[in-house]
Structures are given as structure tokens and as C-alpha cells.
Amino acid sequence: MPLGMAFYVYIMSNRMHGTLYVGHTDDLVHRVETHKTGTVPGFSQQHDLKLLVYYELHDSREAARRRERRLKHWLRAWKIKLINEANPEWRDLAEDLNQ
């Protein structure tokens, strides 16, 4: 893996315990920005998913894809528990990315 390469699985929401979107990317800052600006039409834009409430780092694109697929099949309650354990206030973690 080239130096600096990172792969992420992330969850966006519109509010605490609101609608959830699970995705993966190799550029979390850029991907979150596309959610926040609504520049890509689709589910995220329709549901106003602008809060990054959870993310995790993976060492390969394939590992991130596998984890994303697993999370997408999880029950909603399990996803909420995962978010609550890591980010109980459901604050926008995107604020930490630009520091």
C-alpha cells in the first residue's frame, strides 16, 4: 500500500437516531464534503445526510468494501449501538477531519 493511502467506512446521518447511510471511500474529507454540499444526487441528498457520525480506518480497499457490505446488512439497532458507543452525542465528526 502506498504511503498515505487509507480506506474508510463511514456512516452519515441527518440527526441523532435519524436516517443512516453507510459508505466507503479512500478520501473521507472529500466524500463527506460531497454529502454536505449535496452535489451527488441520490439517497444521501434526498434525506439531507450531512452529519458524519461514525467512521473507521481500514488498511485496504477490499477490507473497507467488505466491512461496508457487512454494516449495510446489520439491523438498524446494531448500527445505532455502534454509533452510540463511539460517538454518544452524535456530533459531526467532520469537524475533526480538517484539523
Give the pLDDT score at 2.
46
- Looking at the domain assignment, is residue 2 inside a domain? no
- Looking at the domain assignment, is residue 23 inside a domain? yes
- Looking at the domain assignment, is residue 1 inside a domain? no
Task: Give start and end residues of each alpha helix (H) in 1-99.
Answer: 28-37, 43-46, 61-73, 76-86, 94-97
- Looking at the domain assignment, is residue 38 inside a domain? yes
- Looking at the domain assignment, is residue 69 inside a domain? yes
Query: What is the CATH classification number for the domain harbouring 37?
Result: 3.40.1440.10
Task: Note down pLDDT in tens along the chain; length 99 residues.
Answer: 444 579 999 999 999 999 999 999 999 999 999 999 988 889 999 999 999 999 999 999 999 999 999 999 999 999 999 999 999 999 999 999 875
- Looking at the domain assignment, is residue 53 inside a domain? yes
For the chain, what is the domain count? 1
CA-wise closest residue to 56 among 85, 36, 35:
85
Determine the distance from the C-alpha atom of residue 80 to the mean position of all C-alpha atoms in its chain, rounded to a whole number: 13
State pTM to two decimals. 0.93
Residue range(s) defining the domain that contains residue 69: 7-97
- Looking at the domain assignment, is residue 89 inside a domain? yes
Give the pLDDT score at 12.
98
